[in-house]
Amino acid sequence: MSLWEYANPKKFMQTSAAILPYSAGLTAICLVVGLVWGFFFTPDDFRQGSTVKIIYLHVPSAMMAINIWVMMLVTSLIWLIRRHHVSVLAAKAAAPIGVVMTLIALFTGAIWGQPMWGTWWEWDPRLTSFLILFLFYLGYIALWSAIENSDTAADLTSILCLVGSVFAVLSRYAANFWNQGLHQGASLSLDKEKNVADVFYQPLLFCLAGFVLLFITLLLLRTRTEIRTRRLSALRLRERQAA
């Protein structure tokens, strides 16, 4: 079976309808387990106190904000190369989810940073690149809304996605590129010296899984809505032409 079969709207609608109940159920389980475990059954950090528990919202949302843009990049490239409408509609559907994830990451980062750094905001390399990524998300959504022709909008937003991908990479690796700045390195690492302690790490894995599954569930729902909207627009156009 070819992966490209799922670029067919009918095939996508059938498959996503079968997946959605399971993805929604697993999302609820992972988020409830991860957040309850993390917030109520882990100790305070010896340096950061109870503020360390923001990690269960901040790290998953920040990772998803970046990876959603990467997903949009891949689907935009598929559109530019193969001209599959489902791929670009998936990118369009993912953008508002990415905006929310970026906002959660910025907001929780400010709450976490204030007691640690003594300020709500700092023009730190990672924070700045993350803010720019947020603006790219907004620009992507605005560009879709500003252009009436859907194929032209798809082309231009795909190009914008390519440009914005530079800042997605910077957001992920900014703390490694520059030594200056207040933001710490990655909370998750293969190096046990740098990785968070197991007592925080284990519930964090559930939160990460929950955020990934939440994105998949919302993406399927929103992509299905985009497909239906496009079908409705095509039917209305045919009616006007027939009249």
* pLDDT digits 0-9 by tens, 84-123: 889 999 999 999 999 999 999 999 988 887 777 777 777 7
* pLDDT digits 0-9 by tens, 200-229: 888 999 999 999 999 999 999 999 999 998
* pLDDT digits 0-9 by tens, 177-205: 555 555 555 555 544 445 566 788 889 99
C-alpha–C-alpha distance, residues 218 and 64, integer Å: 13
Whether 131 has a pLDDT exceeding 80, the answer reads yes
What is this structure's pTM? 0.88
Proportion of the chain above pLDDT 90, given as a percent:
53
Q: What is the mean pLDDT of the chain?
A: 85
